[in-house]
């Protein structure tokens, strides 16, 4: 599998890196347009919201300059800026749109050695084993189709790192990861939603069945694994949709996942920016903003009201306890 892009925007210095040269060769048939900075491409950031799907077809290649780790307290201890930000898929709720607005296209950073060296140094300097989230800014399984970065990352971390790296995904292309010497130091997390939501909202991601098989394969390959049911979207009939999803997971997940995996649950937050882009770029798409159930959360963001969240949480806990009782629910947020 490969991804079809229609143009590459690139910082010239990126071509001095091995990965930059590799991409230049791989996508030689595409127009390559020089830019000063991956953060500032006026001809793209100035586009109309309507252009959002078109912008997602571009690939941006640059050098990551900021490497600030942010403390975290969920699955990981640290959020790490890594080899990409943005994504080719178009989930209607993608929080990267809050950060990058319509410029949530896939940006690749070619200075992976520098980022890995920093990660290894930080992991080895810690007195207790730390967990580093390397996939909070993009989807690394999708990125791997373009760069092949994941096998390199997983094996190098296994050899030289302490603690764990982790990343979530909505994609099923895990074959290149199955035979790796991961040393038990990678925690793989697959994200799930009911088929109807994947189809109507998570545009361009892998189907449910393929995600279940990919998670099972990763568990069989000895990886530590978890599943995210995220984001929970309270569309009309949500109870039935999520009850059926949980039943299907209970039915099809490998015993290794059920016996050793964990569960994260995140309810959707949505933003004014996303609503504006979706309304213009996907006029026939399902409406995610629900004024009866949602409330403002500051800075143009909306979340489900506290009483709605409490009811949804109780429902999900009950279903999960019934169907996947051996899996620990790490948090519901």
Binding site for ligand SF4 (CB under 6 A): 87, 89-91, 94, 96, 138-139, 170, 202, 205
* Residue 206 CB burial class (10 angstroms; 0-12, 13-18, ≥19): buried
CB 89 to ligand SF4: min, Å: 4
CB 158 to ligand SF4: min, Å: 25
Task: Provide the token pair at 190.
Answer: 């697959």
Residue 239 or 269: the one with the smaller Cβ distance to ligand SF4 is: 269
CB 105 to ligand SF4: min, Å: 10
**What is the Cα–Cα distance from 287 to 236, expressed in whole angstroms?**
11
Residue 141 or 324: the one with the smaller Cβ distance to ligand SF4 is: 141
CB 185 to ligand SF4: min, Å: 23
Nearest by Cα to 1 from 110, 108, 144, 140: 144
CB 36 to ligand SF4: min, Å: 25
CB 72 to ligand SF4: min, Å: 17
Residue 208 or 324: the one with the smaller Cβ distance to ligand SF4 is: 208
Residue 218 or 324: the one with the smaller Cβ distance to ligand SF4 is: 218
CB 138 to ligand SF4: min, Å: 6
Collect all residues with Cβ–Cβ distance below 8 Å to 294 and sequence separation of at least 6: 270, 302, 303, 304, 305
- Give the position of tokens 């882009």: 277
**What is the Cα–Cα distance from 232 to 293, expressed in whole angstroms?**
13
* Residue 282 CB burial class (10 angstroms; 0-12, 13-18, ≥19): middle
CB 215 to ligand SF4: min, Å: 15
Query: What is the DSSP annotation of 270-322?
Result: EEHHHHHHHHHH-TTSPP---TTTEEEEETTEEEE-HHHHHHHHHHHHHHHHH
Residue 11 or 202: the one with the smaller Cβ distance to ligand SF4 is: 202
**What is the Cα–Cα distance from 103 to 97, expressed in whole angstroms?**
7
**What is the Cα–Cα distance from 230 to 248, expressed in whole angstroms?**
16
**What is the Cα–Cα distance from 146 to 4, expressed in whole angstroms?**
10
CB 116 within 8 A of CB 153: yes
Residue 89 or 177: the one with the smaller Cβ distance to ligand SF4 is: 89
CA dist list (Å): 302 to 265, 287, 293, 295 = 18, 14, 10, 5
CB 152 to ligand SF4: min, Å: 21
Residue 89 or 253: the one with the smaller Cβ distance to ligand SF4 is: 89
Triad 165, 100, 26: Cα angle to 5°: 65
Residue 87 or 332: the one with the smaller Cβ distance to ligand SF4 is: 87
**What is the Cα–Cα distance from 319 to 249, expressed in whole angstroms?**
11
Residue 163 or 168: the one with the smaller Cβ distance to ligand SF4 is: 168
């Amino acid at each position: 599998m490969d991804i079809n892009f229609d143009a590459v925007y690139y910082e010239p210095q990126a071509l001095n890196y091995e990965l930059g040269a590799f991409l230049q060769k791989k996508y030689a048939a595409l127009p390559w347009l020089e830019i000063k900075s991956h953060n500032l491409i006026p001809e793209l950031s100035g586009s109309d919201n309507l252009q959002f799907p078109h912008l997602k077809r571009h690939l941006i290649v640059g050098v990551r300059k900021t490497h600030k780790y942010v403390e975290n307290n969920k699955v990981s201890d640290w959020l790490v800026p890594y080899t990409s930000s943005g994504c080719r898929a178009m989930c209607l709720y993608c929080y990267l749109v809050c950060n990058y607005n319509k410029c949530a296209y896939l940006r690749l950073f070619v200075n992976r050695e520098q980022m890995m060296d920093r990660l290894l140094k930080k992991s080895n300097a810690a007195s207790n084993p730390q967990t580093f989230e390397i996939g909070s800014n993009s989807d690394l399984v999708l990125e791997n189709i373009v760069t092949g970065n994941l096998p390199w990352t997983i094996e190098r971390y296994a050899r030289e790192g302490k603690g764990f790296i982790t990343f979530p995904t909505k994609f099923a292309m895990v074959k290149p990861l199955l035979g790796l010497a991961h040393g038990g130091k990678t925690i793989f997390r697959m994200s799930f939603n009911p088929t109807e939501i994947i189809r109507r909202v998570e545009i361009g991601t892998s189907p449910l069945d393929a995600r279940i098989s990919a998670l099972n394969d990763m568990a069989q390959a000895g990886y530590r694994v978890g599943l995210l049911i995220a984001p929970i979207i309270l569309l009309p009939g949500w109870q039935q949709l999520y009850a059926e999803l949980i039943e299907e997971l209970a039915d099809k997940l490998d015993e290794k996942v059920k016996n050793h995996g964990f569960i994260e649950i995140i309810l959707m937050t949505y933003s004014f920016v996303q609503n504006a882009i979706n309304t213009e770029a996907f006029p026939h798409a399902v409406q995610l903003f629900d004024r009866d159930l949602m409330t403002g959360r500051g800075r143009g963001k909306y979340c489900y009201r506290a009483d709605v969240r409490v009811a949804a949480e109780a429902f999900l806990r009950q279903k999960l306890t019934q169907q996947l009782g051996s899996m620990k629910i790490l948090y519901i947020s």
